[in-house]
Amino acid sequence: MRDQNLSTQHQNLQKAYKLSSPEDNINFYKEWADEYEQDFAIGMDYILPFQVASLFLKQKVRGPVLDIGAGTGLLGAEIRKQSEIELHATDISAEMLLIAEKKRVYKNNFVGDLTKGLPVGDNSYNGVVSSGTFTHGHVGPEALFEVSRILSKDGLAVVSINSKHWESLGFDKAQKSLELSGSETSLTKVRIYGDNCKADARNDTAYLLMFTG
């Protein structure tokens, strides 16, 4: 049974990594929503939401804060363990957001496609966080500028980016472009999975890109 679970986790992870369009994402996460936390978050010892929350909360940002690609609310739940800051959530999957809503950590949530622009005004949020959205083809580096758009002038974002694709997909160039536009940035490398992960991806890492509005 344990080997079977590992196989299922691996297959779902590989499918997620291969998603290349908004429609692919919507369809895939619609089917995976109910089993996502047990199958992936718990089964893979997925600690990335904790990593993002920990770095973000050290910065003492005031709300409201938007969780982009919130999924089932794992990152929001980690933030809520340590802070009462006002949280909002957005995701391309309505089914995932329904599960996130049950956690009662978000004041507001809405369906949105980051690659097409979010239904949010300029400078609307003092904080933006994201865990697991910028990865193998999910969302490219150009979406960082949409995050920058919705940040307040004194705002701060912390987003995770799979380190394997930092240079190959051009996230390094996007960071430089943000800096040229006046943003202050920093990078922190962290583990995506904890010690209990037995899958092939157990040693995968992510960069936490922090940047100002």
Q: What is the pLDDT of residues 180-205, one digit of tens each?
A: 999 999 999 999 999 988 888 889 99
Per-residue pLDDT averaged across 1-9, rounded?
42
CATH of segment(s) 2-212: 3.40.50.150
Asked whether the beta carbons of 75 and 49 are under 8 A apart, the reply is: yes
Q: What is the pLDDT of residues 167-178, one digit of tens each?
A: 999 999 999 999
**Comparing 95 with 67, which gets the higher pLDDT?**
67
- pLDDT class for 1, splitting at 50, 70, 90? very low
Q: Please report the pLDDT score of residue 11 as a whole number.
A: 47
Q: Please report the pLDDT score of residue 137 as a whole number.
A: 58
Residue whose tokens read 């912390």: 158
Mean pLDDT of the chain: 85
Asked whether the beta carbons of 57 and 82 are under 8 A apart, the reply is: yes
pTM of structure: 0.84
Per-residue pLDDT averaged across 64-69, rounded?
97
Distance, CA of 159 to CA of 66 (rounded, Å): 11
Q: Which of 56, 71, 66, 68 is nearest to 25 (CA)?
A: 71
Q: Which of 153, 150, 91 is nearest to 121 (CA)?
A: 150
Asked whether the beta carbons of 55 and 49 are under 8 A apart, the reply is: no
Domain spans in the chain, listed from the N-terminal domain onward: 2-212
Adjacency order of strands within the sheet including 125-134: 108-111, 87-91, 65-68, 125-134, 151-162, 205-212, 185-191
Residue 36 pLDDT more than 60? no
Q: Which of 193, 207, 162, 163 is nearest to 46 (CA)?
A: 193
Q: What is the pLDDT of residues 96-154, one digit of tens each?
A: 899 999 999 999 999 999 999 999 999 999 999 999 898 765 688 999 999 999 999 99
Among 57-66, 74-83, 84-93, 127-136, the least confident range: 127-136
Among 44-48, 60-64, 84-88, the least confident range: 44-48
